[in-house]
């Protein structure tokens, strides 16, 4: 809406407000995942081995809540501003060139097992967030004319 009205400053302000709100909420969720990981997993099973394994995995999920919210909102803001190619290429390349090989390697039983796959996912999400936030903050998206 604000980009259509050519009010770039307002569009940025709204995007940053959304990111701040989402990051605050997701950080709180991450803390809850971390603090209550065993009871959360325990809601679905009473098997001690599953609770132990699931609570470790929930710690990894807690670590990327903040960055995932940045990645999702910055990606959406870029797309809304008409910057669709860069985020799509970055997502594709990071997924296929970084996350998949790293997850497959680290996820091997003789390396780190399931922990390796989740470490790879966490790093992938943090890198996505950093790149999309950098792209949005850099304002190169302002040069894109979405009305052509």
The predicted structure's pLDDT at residue 144: 61
Contact 36, 93 (CB under 8 A): no
> Average of pLDDT values for 93-103?
96
The percent of residues above 70 in pLDDT, for the chain, comes to: 89
Contact between 128 and 91 under an 8 Å Cβ cutoff? The reply is yes
Task: Give alpha helix (H) positions in 4-113.
Answer: 8-35, 37-42, 48-63, 65-80, 85-93, 100-106
1: exposed, middle or buried (Cβ count in 10 Å: 0-12, 13-18, 19+): exposed
Domains in the chain: how many in total? Answer: 1
Residue 30 lies in a domain: yes
Per-residue pLDDT at 10: 80
Give pLDDT, residue 116. Answer: 95
- Domain with 76, as residue range(s), is 8-143
Average of pLDDT values for 122-129?
96
Query: pLDDT category, 14, cuts 50, 70, 90?
Result: confident
Q: Per-residue confidence at 4, pLDDT binned at 50, 70, 90?
A: low
* Confidence band of 96 (pLDDT split at 50, 70, 90): very high
User: Contact 140/6 with Cβ under 8 angstroms?
Assistant: no
Residue 1 within a domain: no
3 domain residue, yes or no? no
């Amino acid at each position: 809406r604000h980009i259509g009205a050519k009010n770039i400053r307002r569009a940025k302000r709204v995007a940053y407000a959304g990111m701040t709100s989402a990051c605050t909420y997701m950080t709180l969720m991450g803390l809850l995942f971390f603090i209550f990981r065993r009871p959360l997993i325990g809601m679905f099973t009473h098997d001690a081995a599953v609770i132990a394994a699931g609570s470790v995995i929930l710690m990894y999920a807690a670590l990327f809540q903040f960055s995932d919210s940045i990645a999702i909102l910055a990606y959406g803001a870029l797309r809304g501003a008409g910057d669709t190619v860069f985020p799509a290429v970055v997502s594709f390349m990071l997924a296929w060139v970084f996350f998949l090989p790293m997850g497959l390697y680290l996820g091997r039983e003789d390396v780190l097992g399931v922990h390796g796959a989740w470490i790879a996912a966490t790093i992938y999400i943090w890198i996505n967030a950093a790149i999309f936030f950098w792209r949005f903050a850099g304002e190169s998206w302002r040069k894109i004319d979405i009305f052509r």
